[in-house]
Amino acid sequence: MTDLGQGLYAPFVRERSTGYPMTAGAVRLARIHTRRQLTMWRWPGDVQDAVLIVSELVTNAVHHGRKVGHELWVRLAVLEDGALLIDVSDPVEAFARFGEDGEPAEGDERGRGLRLVRDVGGEVSWFLRRHCGKTVRVRLASA
Ligand SMILES: Nc1ncnc2c1ncn2[C@@H]1O[C@H](COP(=O)(O)OP(=O)(O)OP(=O)(O)O)[C@@H](O)[C@H]1O
Ligand SMILES: [Mg+2]
Nearest CA to ligand 1 atom 5: 95
Given the CA of residue 65, which atom of ligand 1 is nearest to it?
Answer: 3
Q: How far away, in angstroms, is 79 Cα from ligand 1 center?
A: 26
Given the CA of residue 92, which atom of ligand 1 is nearest to it?
Answer: 3
| 7 or 89, greater pLDDT | 89
Give the model's pLDDT for residue 4.
47
Specify the CATH class of 12-140 in words: alpha beta
Highest mean pLDDT among 4-13, 102-111, 123-132: 123-132
The pocket around ligand 1, CB under 6 angstroms, is made up of: 56, 60-61, 63-65, 90, 92, 95-96, 101, 110-115, 136
**Each residue's pLDDT tens digit, 92-111:** 999 988 887 666 666 666 78
Please report the DSSP string for 37-95 in residue order: HHHHTT--S-HHHHHHHHHHHHHHHHHHS--TT-EEEEEEEEETTS-EEEEEEES----
User: Could you tell me the pLDDT band of residue 44, with boundaries at 50, 70 and 90?
Assistant: very high
What's the Rg (C-alpha) of the chain? Answer: 14
**Each residue's pLDDT tens digit, 53-79:** 999 999 999 999 999 999 999 999 999
Report the pLDDT averaged over residues 40-55.
Answer: 98
End-to-end CA separation in angstroms for the chain: 26
Nearest CA to ligand 1 atom 26: 110
